Amino acid sequence: MDSKDQKILDASLALFLRHGYRKVTMSDIAQASEMSRPSLYASFSNKEGIFSALVARQQRRNGLATAERLPAASGLHAQLACLFDIWLIGPVMSVLGSENATDLIVNCQAWAPDATRAMHAEFEQALKTVLAPNLTGNPYITADDMAFILRTATTSLKASVENEPHLRRMVSGLIAMAVATVEKNGSEKK
């Protein structure tokens, strides 16, 4: 992505956080990006395209952070904590201070459905990768199902988050349940 597109995305995100997605127009984005509307439209045909690009940018950042940080996490609990920190806590906390944060978080799927699905799929795959070695032969749940449940639960967490301690408490509970399921599986194999 070139610097012009980055400038548009940065300006758009600031506007969305300040005014909300629905109130921001392409004219507002052009003005905040310090460019003409035709120049803006040459990069993005509409606001949905900009929002999708913001989601895709976050997905790339999360993927890079996962590749960098996950290898240093030792043990299932630490690996899950690392993934949730990268894919959920960090992104949510980056917007939570905005009065429009809840609207942006809850409606992300509506405004950028393909980009949101792609991000969810990558997060779910990262969870599967961590869970699979620990759930081989589990009579209760597969790594695929647990990853799906954990990733799906994040949608509700994001919608109901009040503050960082609240979010971290909910994530800790999800991780504890996942680890307990794995430990139960391990004890029944003996």
Distance CA 173, CA 176 (A): 5
Residue 8 C-alpha from the chain's centroid:
21
pLDDT at 157: 85
pLDDT of residue 188 exceeding 60, the answer is: no
| Residues 166 and 127: beta-carbon distance below 8 Å | no
pLDDT of residue 169 exceeding 50, the answer is: yes
Q: Is residue 52 part of a domain?
A: no
- In the chain, the number of structural domains is 2
pLDDT at 135: 86
- Identify whether residues 39 and 97 lie together within a single domain: no
Which one is predicted more confidently, 71 or 138? Answer: 71
pLDDT in tens, 51-107: 999 999 999 999 999 999 999 999 999 999 999 999 999 999 999 888 898 889 889
User: Cβ neighbours of residue 96 under 8 Å, at least 6 residues apart?
Assistant: 161, 163, 164
Structural domain boundaries enclosing 99: 58-189
Which one is predicted more confidently, 20 or 136? Answer: 20
Other beta carbons less than 10 A from residue 109's beta carbon: 14
